[in-house]
Structures are given as structure tokens and as C-alpha cells.
Amino acid sequence: MVRVSLDDPLALALSPPPNETPEQRSAREQAEAEARKTSEAIDEQIRQEKIALKKKKKPVKILLLGQSESGKSATLKNFQLQYAKDQWLEERLAWRAVIYLNLIKNALQVLDILQQAMSQTNKDKYPSTSLTTADISDSDGEHRSHTTVYRFTDKHRLLKLRLAPLRTVLVDLEKRLGPGSQEVHAISRSLSDSTENRARQREFGVSSNNGWKSILDKLRSTPEPGNRPSSKQREAGHDGVTDVLLGCKDDMKSLWHDPVVKQILSHRRSKIEDASGFFLDDVDRIASPDYEPADDDIVRARLRTVGVQEHSFMMEAGQSLALSTESLPLDANADRGREWIMYDFGGTRSARALWAAFFDDVDTIIFLAPISCFDERLREDQDVNRLEDSLQLWRIVCSSPVLAKAQIILFLNKCDILHKKMKRGVSVRDYVPSFADRKNDTMTVMKYFQQHFKDLFKSCSPEPRPFFVHFTSVIDTKATATTLSVVRESVLRQHLQNARLI
């Protein structure tokens, strides 16, 4: 017998009617049992969904691999631009300092080349206009002799003086941006091993969160020594570096457009315009008091990755998957709110020792191989051809037993530079003899290199797996967005397959 307190309206409502017949009671009890069953089933369903959700929301783990300057960080920026817009917008202004650094380096590089050509001149002999035989070294260290006559004038001497303040600003910016602001060059053989070890140790260590963000944050919070901007100026992101750039703007343009400088540069095999972080064509836009980096500027900006940088972002709502008609069904919302962790590594030879420690549990590797580099050598080792180095790395990654279950997506990158080289008539056969007498055009070269990568992939993979390849120019954010939508689906499919959910 259930006691009912007449004071409790809830208990009163739930209690059986006082004049209930045995039939009514049986029907009521049956209904109650069914309701209990339904409720328990719902509880169980919720519990199962929670477990599945937890499993489902395991972060997607992606590694970006490839030699230094292959475009790993630029690819990561494209991901961020497409799928983590909030982070992207938050960081936009901070990239300005990196773009300034790139632009200043470009101008000083041209100035150094000019200076080198001028230093060949015997000033005493030819006081005003000069004749010279220049022996100019390429950015990749190659020396080339030319018996060309350059006519230097006072304008060139003046440019050297007027652009000198850029050197001070460069030192300051490098100090503020840290080791990522400088490239790693070949270590002289005469230097002891310990020098390289020290350099290597600096490369170790994971910068969790957003690696470059911490650098950029630090930069924002350290005003320039001796040149403190007013709070109003700082609000507008205006500081002493901007002042120097504004002051040097016309001279930078004058240097870049100078016919003698153009002549000197035309004799160099590698084009300065194709180098990392080239901004000299954008001086007007960048050396302006209210310059705000455009999306493309940020993707093109070069900041060397030091150590390992872990970038995590949530797939934002509203980014629906562009579903293909592949066999396995995939929910269009399958990765909403899912965390993606992308590891971006330094790619220099000494930095690669760190990669293997991150190979466990990887869903996908995006491997960047710049195919424009068939005629270039590594900065850190002038004896090694860049394409050869990429292929060697590719072999190591494909044959790794730990990565046997990972999906590998190859980006044959820098196709835009390859195309420019083909148009200039650079001969692939001169650097890759096996190319033989094939047609020296972009499509043929792309296909030829692709076949090499594919053959290695097939012969080295510990077990058969599909070969995914994309021809990319990751500084082209629009075209890359299309590539990434395909990659994203493929990454997710692999992740769910690994988690055995589909």
C-alpha cells in the first residue's frame, strides 16, 4: 500500500485513482512497465551515443612533411584560412612584421648583389662610369662569370647609402622574431661537430598551441628599443620599422626597377622573384602607413619553422563537406566540431631527426615535394640536389613500417615556378639526365616526376595502399581551397576508418 501525503501535489498526481478496478490497475501497471522500458532504452541510447561521440571526436592527426621550403607551413596556412577563419583573422595583423622582414631581406639581397658587382670595379681607374667584369654568386652558391659591361653611376652609390638603415631594422626584426627569421645555411666543414649539435638542439622541442602565434604574440608585446611608438601609433600597428620602410620606399623601388640592376640580375640563373617570401613587387602596398596583410601575403610570407609546431583547430560549423561519390558513405556533418591537429616540422636535414617521434597513430601525411627545384641545391648542403633530396625523403616516409597504415597524400608543389622555368627554357635534361629527349614542357615534366614518385611509393610501401597526388601551387589560395576540400574528405574518411566507425 502506497502512502500518499495529501500535502504533496506531485505525489498526488502520480498516485493511482482511489476507486481503481483490478482491470484498470492491471492496464495501468502494464502501461507503466512499457514506459519504464522505453525510458531505459532511451537512456541506453544516450549512453551509446556519448561513447560513440567521444570516440568520434578523437582528434584527426596530420603530419606535414617535406624538405625545408617545400611549402609545409604555407599548406597549413591554407587549412587555417579555409577552416579556422577566427584564428586566421586574429593573427592577420601580426604577420605584418614577417612580411616587413621578407621585404627588407629582398631589398638587401638585391643591394648586396649590386654592391658585389660594383666592388669588382676599380674606382680609381673609372671614377664616374665604370666598366666591370662581374663574378656574381647565385643564391644557391653557384659562381658564374660574365664578361658584361655594367655602367654604374652616382645613383647606385647613393642607393647603397640611402638604403643602409634597412640593415639596422633587419637586425632588430630578426632579434624580435627569433631563429625562424633566418634560414639555415651550410655549416662550414671547418666548424666542429658541436656547432651543428648546438644548432640541432635548438631545433628540438614542441611548440604546442600555435607555434608561430607565440612568436607573433611576443613580437607584438616587445616594442622596438629606442623608438617607442605612441599608443595611438601602436594601435594602428605603426612603429619604427614602418617609419624606416616608408622612408626607404622610393629607393627600394628605384633599386628594383633600375636597368643596371635588372641587367645584373638577368645573368643569375635562379630568379630572385621565385625565392621564398618575395615582396619587392608590392613595395607600394606594403610600405604604407595603413598596410594590412592580405590573405595571399600571409600565405606567401616566409618564416622558417623551428622544431615542431602543433596547430590545433576545430572544424567550424558551416563548413560542409564537398562529398564525392566514393563507395563509403560519409555524413556531411561528420567532422563538424572535430579537432584537427596538424604537425608542422622544420625540414632542414638536422631538423628531420625529430619527425619519427610523431609517427604513431597518424591518420594522414601530407608530403610536400617542390617539383620546380630540379635545378636547385639545398641551402644547408650545397652538394645535394633538392629534387634528389625530396625523393630520398619520400622513400623513407613511404617505407616506414610505423606509417604503413597511414594515408599518404603527395603534393607536387610549386608548379607555378616550374611553369615559369619551363617558359624561360631551363632544360630539365641538364639536371635530370634520365629525362632524356622528352619534350621540355610543364605537363611532360609534371607527369615524368609524378611517375617517379608513384613508382617509389608502390615499391616502398610495406603493404599496398592507394596513391593520392595533387599538383599544387599552394600560394594560390583559391586553387588550394579546391584541393583542400578533396583532401579534407579523404583525411576524414581515413580517420573514421582507423577508428573503425565506418
Which position among 80, 242, 305, 477 is part of the footprint of ligand GDP (CB under 6 A)?
305
| 473: partner contacted, choices Mg ion, ligand GDP, none (Cβ within 5-8 A by kind) | ligand GDP
Could you say whether residue 413 binds Mg ion (CB under 5 A)?
A: no
Closest CB to ligand GDP among 136 and 368?
368
Contacting Mg ion within 280-319 (CB under 5 A)? 305
Contacting ligand GDP within 183-212 (CB under 6 A)? none
Helix (H) or strand (E) holding 257: helix 240-257
Could you say whether residue 390 binds ligand GDP (CB under 6 A)?
A: no
Distances (CA, A) of 184 to 14, 203, 351: 78, 11, 10
Q: Name 60's bridge partners.
A: 340
Segment interacting with ligand GDP, rule: CB under 6 A, options 133-141, 299-307, 456-464, 488-496: 299-307
Which position among 80, 130, 207, 276 is part of the footprint of ligand GDP (CB under 6 A)?
276
Q: Name 411's bridge partners.
A: 368, 470
Which position among 176, 300, 488, 495 is part of the footprint of ligand GDP (CB under 6 A)?
300
- Shortest distance (Å) from residue 310 CB to Mg ion: 13
Closest CB to Mg ion among 73 and 400?
73
| 474: partner contacted, choices Mg ion, ligand GDP, none (Cβ within 5-8 A by kind) | ligand GDP
Q: Is 58 annotated as a binding residue?
A: no
Cβ pair 344, 66 in contact under 8 A? no
- Shortest distance (Å) from residue 67 CB to ligand GDP: 7
Q: Is 364 annotated as a binding residue?
A: no
> Could you tell me whether strands 339-345 and 308-314 are parallel, antiparallel, or unpaired per DSSP bridges?
antiparallel
Burial label, 194 (beta-carbon count in 10 A; 0-12, 13-18, 19+)? exposed
Q: Is 86 annotated as a binding residue?
A: no
Which position among 87, 106, 309, 473 is part of the footprint of ligand GDP (CB under 6 A)?
473
Which residues, including other chains, have CB under 8 Å from residue 129's CB and lie 6 or more apart? 151, 152, 153
Could you say whether residue 277 binds ligand GDP (CB under 6 A)?
A: yes
Which position among 474, 484, 491, 492 is part of the footprint of ligand GDP (CB under 6 A)?
474
Which residues, including other chains, have CB under 8 Å from residue 350's CB and lie 6 or more apart? 184, 196, 199, 200, 203, 380
**Dist. CA 310–CA 120, nearest whole Å:** 48
Retrieve residue 283's grid coordinates: 613595395
Closest CB to ligand GDP among 88 and 150?
88
- Shortest distance (Å) from residue 305 CB to Mg ion: 3
Q: Is 444 annotated as a binding residue?
A: no
Closest CB to Mg ion among 73 and 413?
73
**Dist. CA 183–CA 449, nearest whole Å:** 27
DSSP state, residue 31: H
Distances (CA, A) of 416 to 194, 431, 456, 479, 491: 40, 19, 24, 12, 26
Could you say whether residue 475 binds ligand GDP (CB under 6 A)?
A: yes
Cβ pair 334, 315 in contact under 8 A? no
| 80: partner contacted, choices ligand GDP, Mg ion, none (Cβ within 5-8 A by kind) | none
Closest CB to Mg ion among 118 and 351?
351
| 70: partner contacted, choices ligand GDP, Mg ion, none (Cβ within 5-8 A by kind) | ligand GDP
Cβ pair 363, 407 in contact under 8 A? yes
Residue 39 CB coordination number (10 Å):
10
Closest by alpha carbon to 450, among 391, 377, 398?
Answer: 391
Could you say whether residue 498 binds Mg ion (CB under 5 A)?
A: no
Using DSSP's 3-state secondary structure scheme, residue 176 falls into helix
Backbone angles phi, psi at 383, to 5 degrees: -85, -10
- Shortest distance (Å) from residue 340 CB to ligand GDP: 18
- Shortest distance (Å) from residue 473 CB to ligand GDP: 4
Closest CB to ligand GDP among 180 and 240?
180
DSSP string, 419-483: HHHHHHT--GGGT-GGGTTS--SHHHHHHHHHHHHHHHHHHH-SS----EEEE--TT-HHHHHHH
- Contact flags string 333-352 toward ligand GDP, x per CB under 6 A: --------------x-----
Segment interacting with ligand GDP, rule: CB under 6 A, options 68-76, 308-316, 356-364, 391-399: 68-76
Contacting ligand GDP within 405-444 (CB under 6 A)? 413-414, 416-417
**Dist. CA 372–CA 375, nearest whole Å:** 8
Chain positions contacting Mg ion, by CB under 5 A: 72-73, 305
- Binding site for Mg(2+), residues? 305
Chain positions contacting ligand GDP, by CB under 6 A: 66, 68-74, 276-277, 300, 302, 305, 347, 368, 413-414, 416-417, 473-475
